[in-house]
Amino acid sequence: RRATRTLSNSRDFYLSTMPRKATPLDTLPPITGGAVVTSIVMYPVDVVRAICMSNPGTGAGAALSGFIQTHGYAGFLKQGLVAEVTRASFSRMVKFWMQPIVHTNLFGKPESKGTPISKGLAGALATIPEVIVISPLENMKLAEQLDKDKRFNGPGSVASHLVKTRGVIGGLYIGYAGC
């Protein structure tokens, strides 16, 4: 009996010191960290892009200088930063976290053993929850960025305005609800 116990304890110790296979949940913190850093670094570019899209013919330089004249440099911190960092972080986090999970569930094998087509299909399906999560944040961010009259005091006031004036679906999912 004693020899069996020792062998069992040794095996348990050996198994407990072996690295375990990473789970999808293990990948979430580094994916989230990378998503947040990318979102913050790219925010000024997103502001200029939004202004150029909403004002056809406006160049990037004119959009940037106009934004700074209207809101100052602090505008990059006040005009939609919270909504954009949240939106972009959730977007990347959900997409890159869900893609391998979708692949495994859809094709019965890990992404590392998938084909380019199976990986692409899994990625396309992983964007469905991403769009559901980020659409309200994108609409709130755009409203803040394009708010020349400074009517809004952050994402909460934008969300409240959109819901009061257009309803939950029509306000938060503008563009998908046919509004």
Instruction: State the average pLDDT for the chain.
Output: 82
Residue 150 pLDDT exceeds 60: yes
Highest mean pLDDT among 3-17, 112-126, 142-156: 112-126
* pLDDT higher than 50, residue 178: no
Mean pLDDT confidence for 145-169: 87
Q: Using one digit for the tens of pLDDT, what is the confidence trace for 33-56?
A: 888 888 888 888 888 888 888 888
Distance from C-alpha of 33 to C-alpha of 89, rounded to nearest angstrom: 8
The least confident of 10-19, 58-67, 124-133 is 10-19
Query: What confidence score (pLDDT) does residue 108 get?
Result: 94
Concatenated DSSP letters for the chain?
Answer: -HHHHHHHHHHHHHHHHSPPPPPHHHHHHHHHHHHHHHHHHHHHHHHHHHHHHHSTT--HHHHHHHHHHHH-TTHHHHSSHHHHHHHHHHHHHHHHHHHHHHHHHHHSS-GGG--HHHHHHHHHHHHHHHHHHHHHHHHHHHHHHT-TT----SHHHHHHHHHHHH-HHHHHTTTTS--
| pLDDT tens track for 89-100 | 888 888 888 889
